[in-house]
Chains A and B, each alone.
Chain A
Amino acid sequence: MYYNVFKILKEGLNDNKGWKKTWQNPEIKKKYDVIIIGGGGHGLATAFYLAKEFKIKNIAVLEKNWIGGGNVGRNTTIIRSNYLLNENEAFYEFSLKLWETLENQINYNAMVSQRGVLNVFHSDAQRDSFVRRGNSMIINGADAELFDVDKIKSMYPFLDYDNARFPIKGGLFQKRGGSVRHDAVAWGYAHAADELGVDIIQNCEVTGFIIKSGTCIGVETNKGNILADKIGCAVAGSSSVLMSKANMNLPLESHVLQAFVSESLKPLIPGVITFGAGHFYISQSDKGGLVFGGDIDGYNSYAQRGGMDMLEDVCEGGLALMPTIGKARLLRMWGGIMDMSMDGSPIIDKTHIKGLYLNAGWCYGGFKATPASGWCFAHLLAKGDSHSLSENFQLDRFKNGYMIDEKGQGAQPNLH
């Protein structure tokens, strides 16, 4: 079903009786060319680009619950490409470019809103590192501007400019960054993939892999065995659990990352703002809620909820940056399970088992990476070799010493 303004007018006059299901509930076939495990943002995007860009016909997406119920529905909806290292920056800039044309590609309103991302800095040393990052962004084709305090004051008058401990000295601004309606990303990709004939199968949990003489030829599920030439896994925080069924041990730890939303308020925050002296980022949704988050809780967790001490920590950061939010009441909080890798960067690679491919290790960066992750994973699945933008995201880089450690923290996943 193709959505356009005439269709809306027609259905408006027709009591909205002509709308069809956005995606179907297809019968499972015995065999597919490609199976994607995980019906989240990355899995659905992969299926869509496989069908659209790489012309693969026979694709299934297997999701153990309902699509979009994991991290794509549990984030703070921010898109940006403000990384330091070339391996990451080029990839995330490609992702941001895909976000800019996403809605036309998938014929779905994902409410992509490039309202700007501001990273505030508080010291001379931090200014230098932000300048360096800004230059790295520009070299990789992204946009970056350095703002002084007066410029920030004119744009964001509600920040605390009298904070003696963490004075605001300026900020690094990316105008093309912003936010996207997260659920609509999952639904939009599902809609577009379904249009291209992808089978989206919900409530289908993969319980094992069928591996014969070193080649993965299918999966075992609660709905029976399904065969495939190639199998791609994109299950984020559950990656270690899933891949252990193929006797693989991954360089990942699963951690819970919380996010919070306040009651609806009148328009206050025009873009996304991050605090430079702690981990705190905030934006305002189109419904008016202040959406904010901070660090992961810091210990291995598969519970999609977090502890109160992190809530306190996040709110302290928020109040140091903008005390005015102290009067807003918290409406909801939630947690998603991050697949924290050992160097803070993702993995898009084949495995030692033929026919089995892995997309994991997204740490905090999964949502904004969705389109590029889908594109590069689809490239890998269709062609068998890595896309040039994801060729560094290899599974064996930890063994070979080619780490992509954006923060320089070493093999300590809870610090990335």
Chain B
Amino acid sequence: MIIDHPLLGPRDASEFIYLGDASLLNRPNWDEENSEDNFYKYLYLRENVAGMHKELWFHQQGDRSWLVISRNTITHEIFKVELATEFKKNMEKFND
């Protein structure tokens, strides 16, 4: 699998390590009333789709950046690669 890094260009997937579903960027507030349930869902009930999946990858053997990759889990086709910081900013804008 080749990952087209937004800063470094195409890199082999073996340089990266995988964390999981990009919903891990949405850490719940600890002081909300139902935070126990929110943290349970946050940590254990992640997306496990057959198809398009947004997921967190870390460029460990490279520039040590966190990426959000949109990938098809059936074909391994990669549609979009973004820096996680940019992704989070856009996500917050969208939520506002």
Point out residues on A near B: beta carbons under 8 Å. Answer: 238, 240-241, 249-254, 298-303, 307, 309, 342, 398-399, 411-414
Contact = CB atoms under 8 A, between A and B. Distances in A.
B18 A414 contact: yes
A307 B45 contact: no
B8 interface: no
A239 to B, nearest CB: 8
17 contacts: A250-B45, A251-B44, A253-B20, A299-B13, A299-B57, A300-B73, A302-B50, A303-B76, A307-B13, A342-B43, A342-B44, A398-B40, A398-B44, A399-B37, A411-B44, A413-B20, A414-B18
A301 B76 contact: yes
A302 B44 contact: no
Contact of B55 (A240, A300, A342): A300
B92 to A, nearest CB: 24
Contacts of B46: 253
Contacts of B19: 412
B55 to A, nearest CB: 7
B76 to A, nearest CB: 6
B73 A251 contact: no
Contact of A254 (B37, B40, B44, B73): B73
Given A300-B55, A303-B73, A411-B43, A240 B18 contact: no
Contacts of A298: 17-18
Given A301-B76, A309-B14, A412-B20, A251 B45 contact: yes
Interface string B60-83: 000000000001011110000000
B1 interface: yes
Interface residues of B, number: 27
User: Binding site of A, secondary structure by majority: helix, strand, loop or mixed?
Assistant: mixed
A298 B57 CA distance: 11
Contacts of B75: 303
Nearest to A396: B40
Given A240-B48, A307-B13, 14 more contacts: A238-B50, A240-B49, A250-B45, A252-B48, A253-B46, A254-B48, A254-B50, A300-B20, A303-B75, A307-B1, A342-B43, A398-B40, A398-B43, A413-B20
A300 B48 contact: yes
B62 to A, nearest CB: 15
Contacts of A254: 48, 50, 73
A243 to B, nearest CB: 10
Nearest to A340: B48
A301 B73 contact: yes
Nearest to B57: A299
Interface centre among B1, B18, B41, B53 (most CB of A within 10 A): B18
Interface string B30-50: 000000010011011110111
Contacts of B74: 302-303
A363 B48 CA distance: 14
A247 to B, nearest CB: 12
Contacts of B13: 299, 307, 309
Nearest to B41: A249
A311 to B, nearest CB: 11
A45 B34 CA distance: 41
Contact of B45 (A249, A299, A303): A249
A241 B18 contact: no
A309 B13 CA distance: 9
A241 B50 contact: yes
A241 B73 CA distance: 12
Contacts of A413: 20
B12 to A, nearest CB: 8
A47 to B, nearest CB: 26
Given A253-B20, A254-B50, A414-B18, A299 B43 contact: no
Contacts of B40: 398-399
A414 B37 CA distance: 24
A245 to B, nearest CB: 12
A301 B71 CA distance: 10
